[in-house]
Structure 1
Amino acid sequence: MSKTTIYDVAEAAEVGIGTVSRVLNNSEKVSDETRNKVLKVIKELNYYPNGMARGLALQRTNAIGVMVPSFIDHFFVEVLRGVQAGLNQFDLDLVLFKVDKEEKDKHINRVLQGRKVDGVLAITLDLTKEEVNKFKELDLPLVLVDDYQQDVNSIFVDDIAGVKKAISYLIELGHQRIAFFDGPLESNHGKQRLEGVKIAFAEAGLEFDEQLLQEGDFTVESGYQSMKKILDVEERPTAIFAASDDQAVGALEAIKEEGLSVPDGFALIGYDNIELARYLDLTTVSQPMFKMGELGIETLAKLIYSKQDDLIKKKIEPKLVIRNSC
């Protein structure tokens, strides 16, 4: 039978981990009602924190670090909303770190110096094994969000499945010449989404025209420039699939500049389902961005407070949201 943890007590008492810790340390910052409720659960669960665990608890910062490439991108804003919702359950403070991918090593060292957080979420950062090992060497809990590594705790979306749904839908509508605006081809998302495109074409008995592949960086400007290039192709595609909604927004701008429209000129599908997609009536592959942030915090809290040894992997199935851009 597994040993009862402070995480189990907090869950049963419907309070944050920090509240349980304050009760155990006789803090005056807890109301009598809450203290009695927690003590009752401790007794019912037969929870006895040992001296070493108590010592470790006293050394905690009750803060978690979140490393993210951007604070303003639509995708990351939504994930961070989920992070904040998760934090509200656990009495944890948030320390945000903006990490430029070009200088990841420098930023990671800054996060690790001084151990000012009890654990870290890394959102869409494509960490290398060497970078992950820095966290392991310090025994600092790490959870990847919107990313996956076999030997790291990961919350991730099944990119291949999501892309296949989008391409298969376009093929069902009669499209065979489909342009794909990808992110960086060396990134995990870039590789997985391109693989999904090729699998969907192969399963339909078709061949993907590599000349219709445009490499970008998931931004609006990238989508705009990719669409400009595709408009110059001698045999234009009839449909565009963008690896992010931001890229789809950029593509839409270029299409309108050409005097064309969606879906009459081109069918258009994005990826993410940011709030703007609904207002643009954009068909898109929906990622549960808010939920990913929330799950990230819940997973990190388990690692911090339960000292769980088993890796936690949560693969999320994306959905195709059909609107009027196809």
Structure 2
Amino acid sequence: MSKNKVNIYDVAEKADVGIGTVSRVLNNSDKVKDNTRKKVLEVMKELNYRPNKLAQNLARQKANAVAVIVPSFIDHFFVEVLKGIQDALEEENIDLILYKIDLNENRMKKIMDIVHSRKVDGIAALTMDISDTENQELKDSGIPVVLADEFSADFHSIYLDDLKGAEMAVDYLVNHNHNKIAFINGDINSLHGQKRLAGVKKSFQKHNLKINTDLIKDGDFYAEDGYQSMQEILELPRTEWPSAVFAASDNQAIGVLQAMEEKGLKAPDDIAVIGYDNIELAKYLKITTVWQPMYQLGHLAIEILLKAIKGELNEIYQKELELKLVKRETA
């Protein structure tokens, strides 16, 4: 018998069972006796039978795939989270369909296009600010959804407290005798940018520090934004320079350090620098930063999504992951 032409009928014939029994073995049905299951699996191995995945999925009315939606493929933060997502899916032999959707007013329409395509059994949306959109249609669709890096009262969510993290960073700087602190923020239109700014303001107020608007910069969470913002700060008279800079991402902190190096400045001797995320590069560049458990965020998001797909969750799951300050050499 040619190995590459073996089908379910061949397995059934050799195992002396019906094709329905073979199908139930393939779908891990509990309606098959142990000795029968063992016999069928042995025949499948002997014949080197590889079941048609598409046919299996159609029979179960399942796609055996989940959608993961991100606003960027290349940002270090998302790369770290995707590692956790990929490992969790591989552990369960589930396929991943990755979508990039920009954070704009059309994002919910594009998400609903994914739902209507019926190509996936569930959706994990990473840093998509779903709670900041009109999402009733997504709720009504019935498809399992997990929001990662975002809190929601309406969807399963695994989240981090940006306000708390930013406050932690500024408190650390103040406790190390810095009272002229610059803040280089990410996208102020994003929930993360807004909450990290709120955390900075809360710490400033707590320590009776005045906000100097010349030392508060908005941009995006990328290295070039940190670089450009720091260049603008260093164009101020030297007497107005900050003694420390808090960047809303490690990417931006890397840009800050580059701008400082071009001016012959070093951290922390001239200006202390603290980042946010604890991406892998931060370790090698010895950047003091606020650690977000990115791998855990991705892995747990998939764990919860798969439970939701299987109908194992009786209520909305919400989990806040803890942030930690990682002390290195730049602050």
Q: Give the shorter-chain TM-score range.
A: 0.7 to 0.9
- Give yes or no for the alignment of 1:91 onto 2:93: yes
CA contact (8 A) 1:245 1:272 kept: yes
Out of 48, 58, 74, the position equivalent to 2:60 is 58
> Counterpart amino acid of 2:66?
I
Structure 1: 4+ residue segments shifted above 4 A = 128-131
Residue 16 of structure 1: aligned partner: none
Deviation at 1:136? Answer: 1.6
The verdict on how the C-alpha distance between 1:161 and 1:56 changes in structure 2, with shifts beyond 3 A counting, is farther
Separation in 2 of the partners of 1:92 and 1:191? 35
The verdict on how the C-alpha distance between 1:206 and 1:252 changes in structure 2, with shifts beyond 3 A counting, is same
Give 1 or 2 for the bigger CA radius of gyration. Answer: 2
The verdict on how the C-alpha distance between 1:178 and 1:26 changes in structure 2, with shifts beyond 3 A counting, is same
Deviation at 1:32? Answer: 2.5
CA contact (8 A) 1:161 1:317 kept: no
The verdict on how the C-alpha distance between 1:26 and 1:77 changes in structure 2, with shifts beyond 3 A counting, is farther
The verdict on how the C-alpha distance between 1:57 and 1:119 changes in structure 2, with shifts beyond 3 A counting, is farther
The verdict on how the C-alpha distance between 1:181 and 1:238 changes in structure 2, with shifts beyond 3 A counting, is same
Equivalent pairs counted in the alignment come to 288
Separation in 2 of the partners of 1:219 and 1:230? 17
Residue 268 of structure 1: aligned partner: 273
User: SS of the counterpart of 1:66?
Assistant: strand
Deviation at 1:21? Answer: 7.7
Residue 205 of structure 1: aligned partner: 208
User: SS of the counterpart of 1:306?
Assistant: coil
Separation in 2 of the partners of 1:124 and 1:160? 15
Residue 100 of structure 1: aligned partner: 102
User: SS of the counterpart of 2:135?
Assistant: helix
Tell me the TM-score normalised to structure 1 length. 0.82
CA contact (8 A) 2:87 2:299 kept: yes
> Counterpart amino acid of 2:92?
F
Deviation at 1:58? Answer: 1.5
- Summarize deviations over 1:101-157 as a string: whole Å, max 9, x none: 235245324312321101101111112555532322221111111112222211111
Superposed, 1:206-285 pairs within 5 Å as: 206-234=209-237, 235-285=240-290
Separation in 2 of the partners of 1:136 and 1:189? 23
Separation in 1 of the partners of 2:235 and 2:193? 24
Tell me the TM-score normalised to structure 2 length. 0.81
Deviation at 1:25? Answer: 7.9
Out of 287, 294, 299, the position equivalent to 2:292 is 287
The verdict on how the C-alpha distance between 1:67 and 1:146 changes in structure 2, with shifts beyond 3 A counting, is same
Separation in 2 of the partners of 1:34 and 1:318? 49
Separation in 1 of the partners of 2:198 and 2:40? 52
CA contact (8 A) 1:21 1:57 kept: no
Separation in 1 of the partners of 2:260 and 2:37? 61
Deviation at 1:209? Answer: 2.3
Separation in 2 of the partners of 1:21 and 1:148? 38
Residue 83 of structure 2: aligned partner: 81
Separation in 2 of the partners of 1:116 and 1:307? 21
Deviation at 1:279? Answer: 0.7
Give the unaligned 5+ runs of structure 1: 1-18, 36-54
The verdict on how the C-alpha distance between 1:34 and 1:155 changes in structure 2, with shifts beyond 3 A counting, is farther
> Counterpart amino acid of 1:308?
L
Separation in 2 of the partners of 1:34 and 1:93? 25
